[in-house]
Amino acid sequence: MLMATIRVWLAFAVFAQVASASFASIKAAQAERNVPVTYARQEIVPGSFLIEVGGGSLSKRDGAAHLSRILSHLASPRSTVDNGTSLPTFSATRQLTARPSLFHGAVIEVDDLNVLEKLAAGGESTVKEILQGLHGVEGVERAWPLRVLRGAAPLRMSTQRRAETTESPTFDAALSASLAKRGATNFPPPSAYANDTFSPHVMTGVANLHNQGILGSSDVKVAVIDSGVDYLNPILGGCFGPGCLISFGGDYMIDSPGPTPYTDCSDHGTHVTGTVAALANSYGFSGVAPGVQVGHYRVLDCDKSAPEDRIVNALLAAANDGVNVINLSTGSRIGWLDVDPTQLVVERLTTQQNITITVSAGNGGAAGPFLAFSPASSIGAISVGAVNVEQLPAFPAQVDPFGVLPYLSSTPLNTTNLPTSDNGYPVYFTSTTSAVTGDACDSLPSSTPDLSASIAIVRRGGCPLETKMSNLAAKGAKVALIYNTPDALNLTTDLEAGTTGLAVVASLRYEEGTQLLQWYNLRSGNIRISFPQGMAPIFIEDNVSSGLVWSLSNWGPTFELFGQPSLAGPGSNILSTVRLNEGGFGVFSGTSMSAPFLAGCAGLLLSQRKSDGLSPADVRALLTTTASKRSTTHDKATIETVLRQGGGLVQVDKAISTRTIVSPFELMLNDTAFSASTQMIMLRNTNAFPMQYNVSSSSAQAYAAYENNASTDPFISLKPQSISPQAEQISFSTQHITVEPGQTSAFTVTILPPTFSAAELARFPLYSGYIDISGHSNDPSHAEELHIPYFGLAAAMRDMPVLDSTAKVYGEVAYPFITSDNFTIFDAPGALSVSQEFTVLLRLAAGTRFFSVDVILSSDAPPTTIPTQRRGIPSPNGSRRRDTPTATEAGSTSLHANIARATSTPLFDATPIVGTIARIALPSHRDYFADRAPNDFTERQFPFIPNRAAFQMQQSVQYCVLVRALKITADPTLASSYESWVSYPFTLSS
């Protein structure tokens, strides 16, 4: 016994000396960040919970009394509820009772300061315990941590903020006088919208409708739930209330909603509202449906965030206001269907209240597939991706003595940081040749003049833009223009100076950059440039990516293999309204912009088809199946995957004229384990005459979800690579169908996966395409072209790696692992101090519906899929998981002796648990690498202090930590359904 104790302490001594410098430095850098509190990787309000009441023996009582009784019970002193869980006391901070038939509940907040302290410190296990307790309260139907949702952030230049004013000195005075009057909006006549040349409208058939005077009907109500709106902007009517363009809604940021949704601190909602219904103006744009009634419900703070109850409350209020369409340009990563209360309410509104809901799919395209956003991933919603416009809105710069030069920016370039000048500013190019690579990637030479009163121009490429900006700022530059490289995607309008030292920055296409350089060289550098304010934008061709899917538009699908997005709208470089104190109009990019475009299209469709009684499912089907398929490149040789565009780019004029309604709107073929290869398609002919249909198919680009074999490199690709298998095998029960007027006919289609190589199959191939339906009547003048998107996975989701088992993040240590509060890694059998905080770190390589972190006796350690050793693991290749669980290499004979017993008890619950550090039953999305500064990754951390745990541990006993994560689609009762890891054994020391 003594020798065993000595061996343990010697091992602990080694453990204490091998703290990883790289791990410690990364964690120290992270500690300096203000990281929000999360649960299941969702940002939450610590200590606050959202409950829905109903069910149980109290379900038949009056709703108000029912809720009151439950809240009174939760406010009573700590007690044990029906399922044996102890709860703290709660106070109700908001009741959600606007529409009890849809959602009846409240926000409650923990009163106990000790519990609040644990929650504020990120105690996921405490959150789980409270949720378990709330579910044991009679009458509580559901409970969630109160999430924080954010606007699907538009990309824009935020460094050009103007001074806060109530009016814009640059805004056209004549326009203001013609559009705005106190108390009511002076609506322009339909003729003001004729000859519509606005690129997003031309691309989508909106221009065709506007040219016919079709602007939407005033008895169709479209609601925007967002960050508030500057309705004083005359392009948005100049007023709020009856008789105004924005006629209903309110401020739902407070418990008793405020009377108006006005804001002067955020442009998100103002831009979104303008996309729906901006009035005709002299700046070259208008809304999709300026003839509908528009409402705005302010829920987002100035930082474009909101606790989820605000959004739920606004959804219920919009339903009470009798809206037909709701737009939500908000969301968060979720990866799953029907997980959160917003998804739940959206689903009920679409199925029970006949409300069409458009939701931004998200701007997470840089993170690759399988990172769907909520509430876009709702079964009844229209999830909207983004497509690049064909013509870029640019602002005019005046180059003396040559003329006008368009530049790209979110708003006209603000030069207030430069000395006042009546004749513009001198231009300085850091290189006089456009062939330079790495322009300004190194410190500028000593011969560089003081740039504090000049406009600095630099070529893109060779190093990060921030490096170039910093080098310019080191020579005094305050304002810079960056011109593009040939054939590269245009720089977006979101360029931010950040901490580089510059004040503002904008961009030029390659064509304008080289033109300016030519003028510069022609005049030996003696040219000046100015940036007029308040002038109408110039529209220039996007000759690189026009009409293609926007690079940051979210990929689908969900982990259940539900399709995302439904279809797409124009979303990149969209000109719309902003606050008056920001100039009144500006250019943003994002699915926040494409979603309201579809809301406007839905408003037009419902206005023109009133007598048809279209359901939200009909609206989605018509918009999706008549959309225009997008290609991967401009040569249009290959159709882009359905998982980026859904049905394609909306064509609302075709949706209105098409009288065939298809069901389902999309074919989800599932994976190889649960194949749904044969499906029935229904054709409903609402024409007044028979229709004949011919059916065929077309394939889209296939992609590999992983860059390498998923078993050795478990990271879903940030940039999925295209693969070219043999085409799918598709057969139809019939390819020629006649449907009488008012009737429905059906046919079946069987779609077998393409043939992939073994190497491609190991990378989880995603394949997709379209079932094409060409319809015509006896009168050849009436024809309808429809298509149904389909997609599938040529692999089994249950084989998708769930736990990250590589050393990609920290280099010398692989997940999962345990560390002390001084960043020392526990990498050998040893002892842990009973009073010291230790943290279990893990990353999810894919989503899971359940994972747990438990303390067990080392003698009870089960076989695991991931080796105990976490040092010396290649990154990422070489980390192949075991095909079947085998015993851990913990170095303890008791562990090896237990193999036979463990393998004979294959149930999850068969492993005895000493205590639980964390159990997360809320479906969790995968961690990601793409978008979290400064280290560009996320992970899960579960701290515990042995002598403060909710369970007893003894100093003379050997323990292990067991991590288990449920595989996707696997049976949760079976031990083999989990990826797992067990730590080295440890004892406790005083």
- DSSP letter for 239, please: -
Q: Annotated catalytic, 104?
A: no
Q: Is 111 a catalytic site residue?
A: no
Distance CA 614, CA 622 (A): 10
Angle at 632 between CA 629 and CA 637, to 5 degrees: 80
Measured CA to CA, the distance from residue 208 to residue 214 in angstroms comes to 9
Given a contact cutoff of 8 angstroms between Cβ atoms, the answer to whether 607 and 599 are in contact is no
SS3 category, 979: strand
From the CB of residue 78, how many other CB atoms can be counted at a distance below 10 Å? 12
Residue 780 is given by DSSP the state T
- Backbone torsions φ then ψ of 607, nearest 5 degrees: -65, -40
Q: Which residues of 910-921 are buried (b: 16+ CB within 10 A; e: fewer)?
A: ebeebbbbbbbb
User: Cα–chain-centroid distance for residue 793?
Assistant: 22
- Say which of 172, 196, 226, 542 is annotated catalytic: 226
Distances (CA, A) of 705 to 336, 556, 668, 789: 17, 11, 17, 19
In the DSSP assignment, the letter for residue 933 is T
The label of the residue with tokens 């006993």 reads 957
Question: What is each CA distance from 750 to 468, 680, 725, 734, 753, in whole angstroms?
Answer: 55, 9, 18, 11, 10
List the structure tokens of 745. Answer: 């006919």
The active-site residue, picked from 227, 305, 592, 805, is 592
Q: Where are any strands of DSSP class E within 54-83? A: 79-80
Residue 185, token pair as written in the block: 């909006």
Residue pair 295/247 in contact by the 8 Å Cβ criterion: yes
| Single-letter amino acid code for the residue at 946 | P
Cβ partners under 8 Å of residue 495, min gap 6: 157, 409, 465, 482, 505, 506, 507
Q: For residues 741 and 775, give the distance between their C-alpha atoms in angstroms, rounded to a whole number.
A: 13
Tally of CB atoms within 10 A around 759: 11
One-letter identity of residue 614: L
Choose the catalytic residue: 268, 271, 296, 925.
268
**Single-letter amino acid, residue 457:** I
- HSE of 377 in the Cβ direction (CA atoms, 13 Å)? 29
Report the Cα 637 to chain-centroid distance in Å.
29
Q: Is 233 left (phi over 0), alpha (psi -120 to 50) or beta?
A: beta
Comparing C-alpha atoms, which of 170, 46, 61 is closest to residue 113?
46
d(CA 732, CA 737): 11
Alpha helices in 281-365 (DSSP H): 308-320, 341-352
Residue type, 901: R
Residues pairing with 258 in the sheet: 251
223/81 Cα distance (integer angstroms) = 41
Where would I find the beta strands (DSSP E) of 450-551?
455-459, 479-483, 504-508, 528-530, 538-541
Residues 295 and 237: their CA atoms lie apart, in Å, by 12
Asked if 602 and 577 count as a contact pair (C-beta separation under 8 A), the reply is: no
Say whether 592 is catalytic.
Answer: yes
List active site positions: 226, 268, 592
